Amino acid sequence: MSGASSLPDRAIQISDYGQERGGASRLALMLAGGLRARGVPVTVFSGDHGAAETGAGADQAGIAGAALLERGRASAIVSGLWNRQAVAELRAYLRDHDSPRAVYHVHGFMQTLSPAIFAALHPVRERVVIHAHDYFLACPNGAYFDFQDGAECARVPLSAGCSLRHCDKRSYPQKLWRLGRQHLLNRLMRDFLSDATVILPHDGMRAYLERGGRRIAGAVTLANPATPFLTGPARPAAQSGFLFVGDIHAYKGVFVLARAARQAGVPLVMAGDGQDRAALQREFPEITFAGWQDRAGLTELAARARAVVVPSLGPEPFGLALVEALACGLPVIVSDRALLAAEVVGAGAGLSARAGDRDDLARALARLAADDALVAQMAARAWGAQAQFGKTAGQWCDDILTLYDRVLTRARQRAASGPAPEGVTAQQQARIGGHG
């Protein structure tokens, strides 16, 4: 970690939610707490300011808004494109509190804050860090997934093929609205792609975010932190059941998994909730549905698991449950579309199955169910390779502080070199000045 002299004056964590509601807000609050513990003043600027006490004891700012699906239709349509209150409050925050050593870290903005925040952040874009927790920086539905045909989408975002295709989980008018929002976001972010820093949890995200000829100049790969399900190494060879952890939604491959488990004749536990849970319960009464679990509950379930299954149909950027399983030596069966799949198989820590292929997944389940020696071998290799797949929260915070220092140093050097000549980008100017 950088020395105390290089700490930022303040780290502003910008998030749709100031309370834990999904992976992005969870990581934003985790980082806020870790930075404060290292002596960095932190503000959480959120779109639900005042809805609940923000974790980590950070200062709070933002707007008292709600998620798009929690608003009336007209309000959601308008504010989802341009939240006037959010941009006004963020501009006011910069006016009253900005300093040359303040860093702005954007975690999520599509649910409450809207793309408008980038208009407010434009003057400080060289001190902005954007965390790509998903594909919303490029893809209108944020997933590179066609929800109508249930498969990964290979189209170029905003191309004719993309624009004409009804891929939305709700309706084609909803897709048209998403297209408008993406056009607006792209226009607002044009300078950010060359001047800001973008964190990718996996380097494989870059090809998706740059599809169609875009280039993200300041992309940095930094794996997300993971808390192991267990405090010590798992003993999965003595167990019989398979475990799924996460959102119970068709996109996550839960129907394919349920059918494959029935075909392989193996017990399955699903920990989580989501819009497809009720349908799964009706069709597959043999599955144990554990609901959302706290850390103690996940620990208990993981201790009784033979392997964790991550059957996502689309290009899963990271997969927290996958990494939390590997970190305690628990083997995994992972969809081949998950960005970590090749690394898992290469480390000998699990098996891969073709996304959406029930028969292939059933074969993988049956193979692990029948081979105690293989499960024990994979468990040992997963335990030995745990550092390859994820970081501890402390390591992650230290790495982000080091990144902040680089961001601030680069911004200071660019400011010292003066305004760029007409027609010369900030990136080109940095190279001319010897800083690129």
- pLDDT for 179-235, tens place per residue? 999 999 999 999 999 999 999 999 999 999 999 999 999 999 999 998 899 999 999
CATH 3.40.50.2000-classified regions of the chain: 4-137+189-225+393-432, 236-389
Give the Cα separation of 419 and 302 in Å (integer).
56
β-sheet with 59-62: strand ranges across:
59-62, 42-46, 10-15, 102-106, 128-131, 197-200, 219-221
For residues 375-380, average pLDDT: 98
Exposed, middle or buried: residue 260 (CB in 10 Å: 0-12, 13-18, 19+)?
buried
Q: What is the pLDDT of residues 45-61, one digit of tens each?
A: 999 886 655 555 789 99
Q: Does domain 4-137+189-225+393-432 match CATH 3.40.50.2000?
A: yes
Local confidence band at 21 (pLDDT 50, 70, 90 cut-offs): confident
pLDDT for 50: 67
Beta strands in 135-274 (DSSP E): 145-146, 151-152, 197-200, 219-221, 241-245, 268-271
Local confidence band at 433 (pLDDT 50, 70, 90 cut-offs): very low
Topology of domain 236-389 in CATH is Rossmann fold (3.40.50)
Give the Cα separation of 299 and 262 in Å (integer).
25
Give the Cα separation of 16 and 64 in Å (integer).
11
- Judged against a pLDDT cut of 80, whether residue 136 lies above it is answered with yes
Residue 396 gets the label, from left (phi > 0), alpha (psi -120 to 50) or beta, of alpha
Give the rounded percent of residues in the chain with a pLDDT score beyond 90.
80
Q: For 135, which DSSP code?
A: S
How confident is the prediction for the chain on average, in pLDDT? 91
For residues 14-43, average pLDDT: 91
For residues 291-308, average pLDDT: 95
Local confidence band at 420 (pLDDT 50, 70, 90 cut-offs): low
